[in-house]
């Protein structure tokens, strides 16, 4: 295989409104750390592919289409072989679709395609190692502190024929929301220092791919850059250890055995080398109906009533009883009043994409915020030994809770645009796509 990496700056060139928090209504005032587009490019037998992670909240499907079109025109890579994703930092610009902004989407498209071009040009012969590591100390389920979280980080390490690291890919699910709405400086949040630590200590370019983090929030001691650095370096250090251990794969490592007077081979290896390299890609489109509410005025009346009840009785027991429904109504009220192409009743065809780079490793891209149990369900049914599930891929269609979550209410249910059962349709379609590869 040939493997290359490319990095470009995608920080807006002027102040913009920022994405991620409803109560941040004035433009950015500066940059703490540059927002970047990070690309890993892989080719084999004349077939090329690229996966890009942008330090943004999301990527509009219209912008993703423009990126793919320009990459095909200028670099010859088919759009079906390009996955455009976002890390989901809440400290980037708000103009992430062409209907939202007249300037930034064109700049973003140019910079992302440039990162692909750099990766394509820099590609050299190499191979991949796949490793996993437990990580439970930086996140919590935000619907229920006893609920499931992402417990395993996946790490893909690419090395050249001289065993020099080309790239590392970190895949993990956790909202990059350590910084809150009082921050007006652009920042990648914790994926930034995670990537930085990997690059300083391992070499190459590090790429963070966001997973199914729709109900997973970070833990923190303060909403500041020290907290960002701490969580990011825990994530990066977790990945670094197993990445370094994976470099032993395929080498003849031995220990001196004084009792026997011989050198004995090492038997404890972490991870595995990807076998049977080859690129296969596929797309499928799932038709889902919007769950457009006709009772927004009634919902506002219920919100006022619930808020008054919580004001009168702010006990934890009352909060547990009433707040999930209130948060559902808040989310629904906000979502359906936003300006956008999917505001009213109707349906949509949502893209699911898969790119396999070997017989035993595949990337699956889903276009929105899926709850962590969605990833668990897909992993359990995937025919691939190693399945890296990526959220915020090739578009953004809000939240995708499972049917059981609708009975529990909550913000994620209120911010779901589609009818109950749509997420299960997406899961089934994902499995069929993976089987087809």
Q: Would residue 416 count as lying in a domain?
A: no
Domain ranges, residue 90:
2-246
Cα gap 156→361, rounded to integer Å: 10
DSSP-derived secondary structure letter, 93: B
Residues in CB range of 417: below 8 A, 6 or more apart: 290, 291, 335, 342, 397, 398, 399
**Pairing mode, strands 47-54 and 82-86:** parallel
Instruction: Please tell me the pTM assigned to this model.
Output: 0.95
Contact status, residue 19 vs residue 89, Cβ threshold 8 Å: no
The residues facing 132 across adjacent strands are 154
Closest CA to 373 of 360, 354, 350, 389: 389
Q: Would residue 324 count as lying in a domain?
A: no
Q: What is the largest CA-CA distance in the chain?
A: 83
Total structural domains within the chain: 1
Closest CA to 243 of 194, 185, 295: 194
Q: Would residue 400 count as lying in a domain?
A: no
Q: Would residue 29 count as lying in a domain?
A: yes
Q: Would residue 285 count as lying in a domain?
A: no
Q: Would residue 278 count as lying in a domain?
A: no
Cα gap 48→110, rounded to integer Å: 19
Sign of the torsion angle spanned by Cα atoms 122, 126, 130, 134: negative
Residue 198 dihedral angles phi and psi, to the nearest 5°: -60, -45
Query: Count H helices, E strands: the chain?
Result: 10, 21
Contact status, residue 234 vs residue 137, Cβ threshold 8 Å: yes
Q: Would residue 87 count as lying in a domain?
A: yes
Region of 382 please: left (phi>0), alpha (psi -120 to 50) or beta: beta
What is the predicted pLDDT for the residue at 87?
98
Residues in CB range of 97: below 8 A, 6 or more apart: 60, 61, 62, 63, 105, 340, 396
Q: Would residue 117 count as lying in a domain?
A: yes
| Count of other CB atoms within 10 angstroms of residue 25 | 9
pLDDT in single tens digits along all 437 residues of the chain: 999 999 999 999 999 999 999 889 999 999 999 999 999 999 999 999 999 999 999 999 999 999 999 999 999 999 999 999 999 999 999 999 999 999 999 999 999 999 999 999 999 999 999 999 999 999 999 999 999 999 999 999 999 999 999 999 999 999 999 999 999 999 999 999 999 999 999 999 999 999 999 999 999 999 999 999 999 999 999 999 999 999 998 888 999 999 999 999 988 888 899 988 999 999 999 999 999 887 777 788 889 999 999 999 999 999 999 999 999 998 888 888 887 888 889 999 999 999 999 999 999 999 999 999 999 999 999 999 999 999 999 999 999 999 999 999 999 999 999 999 999 999 999 999 999 99
What is the predicted pLDDT for the residue at 335?
85
The residues facing 140 across adjacent strands are 217
């Amino acid at each position: 295989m040939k493997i290359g990496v490319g990095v470009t700056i995608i920080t807006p060139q002027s102040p913009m409104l920022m994405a991620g928090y409803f109560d941040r209504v004035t433009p950015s005032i500066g940059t703490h750390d540059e927002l970047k587009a990070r690309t890993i490019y892989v080719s084999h037998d004349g077939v090329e592919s690229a996966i890009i992670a942008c330090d943004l909240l999301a990527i509009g499907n219209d912008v993703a289409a423009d990126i793919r079109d320009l990459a095909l025109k200028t670099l010859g890579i088919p759009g079906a072989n390009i996955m455009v994703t976002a890390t989901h930092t809440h400290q980037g610009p708000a103009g992430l679709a062409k209907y939202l902004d007249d300037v930034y989407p064109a700049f973003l498209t140019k910079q992302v395609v440039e990162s692909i071009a750099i990766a394509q040009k820099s590609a050299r012969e190499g191979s991949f190692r796949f490793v996993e590591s437990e990580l439970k100390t930086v996140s919590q389920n935000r619907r229920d502190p006893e609920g499931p979280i992402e417990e395993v980080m996946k790490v893909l390490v690419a090395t050249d024929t001289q065993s020099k690291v080309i790239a590392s890919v970190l895949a993990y699910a956790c909202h990059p929301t350590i910084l809150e709405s009082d921050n007006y400086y652009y920042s990648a949040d914790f994926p930034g220092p995670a990537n930085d630590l990997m690059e300083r200590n391992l070499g190459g370019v590090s790429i963070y791919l966001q997973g199914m983090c729709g109900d997973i929030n970070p833990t923190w001691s303060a909403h500041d850059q020290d907290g960002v650095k701490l969580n990011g370096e825990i994530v990066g250090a977790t990945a670094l250890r197993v990445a370094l251990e994976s470099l032993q794969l395929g080498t003849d490592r031995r220990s001196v055995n004084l009792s026997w007077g011989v050198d004995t081979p090492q038997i404890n290896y972490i991870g595995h080398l990807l076998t049977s390299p080859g690129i296969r890609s596929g797309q499928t489109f799932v038709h889902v109906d919007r769950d457009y509410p006709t009772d927004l005025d009634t919902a506002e009346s219920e919100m006022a009533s619930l808020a008054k009840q919580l004001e009168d009785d702010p006990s934890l027991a009352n909060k547990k009883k009433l707040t999930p429904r209130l948060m559902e109504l808040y989310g629904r009220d906000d979502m359906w009043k936003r300006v956008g192409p999917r505001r009213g009743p109707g349906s949509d065809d949502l893209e699911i994409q898969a790119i396999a780079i070997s017989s035993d490793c595949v990337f699956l891209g889903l276009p929105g915020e899926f709850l962590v149990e969605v990833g668990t369900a897909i992993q359990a049914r995937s025919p691939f030994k190693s399945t890296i599930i990526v959220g915020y891929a090739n578009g953004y269609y809000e939240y995708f809770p499972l049917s059981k979550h609708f009975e529990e209410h909550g913000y994620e249910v209120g911010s779901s645009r589609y009818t109950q059962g749509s997420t299960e349709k997406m899961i089934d379609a994902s499995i069929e796509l993976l089987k087809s590869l």
